[in-house]
Structure 1
Amino acid sequence: MKYRITPWLAAALMLFSMQTLAASLSDIQVL
């Protein structure tokens, strides 16, 4: 495979970014 980034790594990265985004959004709503 040409790509070094594996699908599971990309999925984990996406989940992490979505978690941080949701956390920041909830923090903004609370404030």
Structure 2
Amino acid sequence: TVGVVEHGLFNGMVDKVIVASKSGVTVLEAPKVG
């Protein structure tokens, strides 16, 4: 299926951002989408 890898990487990035937000850490290395 096309897009599975990209979708997985995106979910991983989102998970990192969510975890950082919960821990009160600002994620500066998160790529800007759009």
Q: Which has the higher contact order (CA 8 A, sep 6+)?
A: 2
Structure 2 alignment gaps of length 5 or more = 26-34
The alignment's C-alpha RMSD in Å is 2.1
- Give the percent of matched residue pairs that are identical in Structure 1 and Structure 2: 12
* Structure exhibiting the larger radius of gyration computed from Cα positions: 1
Output the TM-score relative to the length of structure 1: 0.69
Q: Which has the higher helix share?
A: 1
Aligned length: 25
Unaligned residue ranges in structure 1 (runs of 5+): none
TM, length-normalised to structure 2: 0.63
